[in-house]
Amino acid sequence: MRVTESKASIALSPSRLPGLDWALNPYRGCGHACVYCYSPDVLRLDGKEPWGSFVDVRRNLPVLLAREKKNRVGVVGIGTVTDPYQPLEEKAMLTRYCLEQLVVGDCTVCIQTKSDLVVRDIDILRKMKEPEVGLTVTTMDAELAGRLEPGAPPPARRIAALGKLSDAGISTWLFLGPVIPGLNDGTGQLAEVIEAAKAGGCRKVIYDRLRLKPTVVERMRKWMGHAESDRAFGLAGDSVWQARVSAEIEKLCNDAGIVAEKSFR
């Protein structure tokens, strides 16, 4: 892993994501190395380095936040591009330092991560006004998750983290995505994730399909092979398949008494 440090010029960027006013990303690059991640396209990377092999630490963000938060009101989305609790955070603690700045001010936070490391910061989150934490769980199959998301904690640990957050009075949700044809789109697989979300005390499941960005197509073709990936890509863009998956998730959530929300509606 190549780790570098840089100085950002701004901490809080305006967000166009639903429900978020500002975006905060302590890291550029991610050690989770998820095969399906389209962050390289968002960051407009040249692809010379494999995704998951480098991380840039934006070390001065807490200092910038101390100034910027005075003029910011609304919801700050933490981890809108890269995971704020990726492995490097355990030692770097940059996300925690940012949270310490956001405790005081007129902003609240909405965190999305794949890591149970977020429970480390429950003490800070409990001091905030209406914080939210969402954990991504693509599948409850630990073997499949390990291949799709090699640097991330196994799904059972993420569900356990949701339970700890919920027990601490923090609002939680589960992000089920991406749903990939032929990998995690079976009714039984979807049901396992939604049942786990309920067991973890989640109020809501947000779901999304595979997003066919250029770098995603390239990585998944290498990972799945051309024949399987082409079939998956064809279905992912098919309205009939999308409708079927949406209907199944909506029904499973309804049966479990959980709100289902389609991402980027």
pLDDT digits (tens, 9 = 90+) for 76-87: 999 999 999 999
Note whether 177 and 208 are within 8 A (CB). Answer: yes
Please name the amino acid found at residue 99.
L
Give the residue numbers spanning the domain of 25.
Answer: 2-262
Kindly state the average pLDDT of the residues 113-122: 98
Kindly state the average pLDDT of the residues 113-139: 97
Q: How much of the chain, in percent, has pLDDT values that exceed 90?
A: 91
User: Is pLDDT of 139 > 60?
Assistant: yes
User: Is pLDDT of 264 > 70?
Assistant: no
pLDDT at 109: 97
How many structural domains compose the chain?
1
pLDDT at 217: 93
User: Is pLDDT of 17 > 60?
Assistant: yes
Give the count of alpha carbons within 13 A of 45, CB side only: 24
- pLDDT class of 265 with cuts at 50, 70, 90: low
For the question of whether the overall pTM of this predicted structure is more than 0.85, the answer is yes
pLDDT at 182: 93
Q: b or e along 140-179 (b: 16 or more beta carbons within 10 Å of the residue's beta carbon)? A: bbeebbeebbebbbbbebbbbbbbbbbeeebbbbbbbbbb
CA 254, 256, 259, 262 torsion: positive or negative? negative
User: Is pLDDT of 123 > 90?
Assistant: yes
* C-alpha–C-alpha distance, residues 2 and 64, integer Å: 25
pLDDT at 70: 84
pLDDT at 192: 98
CATH of the domain at 28: 3.20.20.70
* C-alpha–C-alpha distance, residues 86 and 83, integer Å: 5
User: Is pLDDT of 69 > 90?
Assistant: no
Tell the burial category of 211 from Cβ atoms under 10 Å away from its Cβ (0-12, 13-18, 19+).
middle
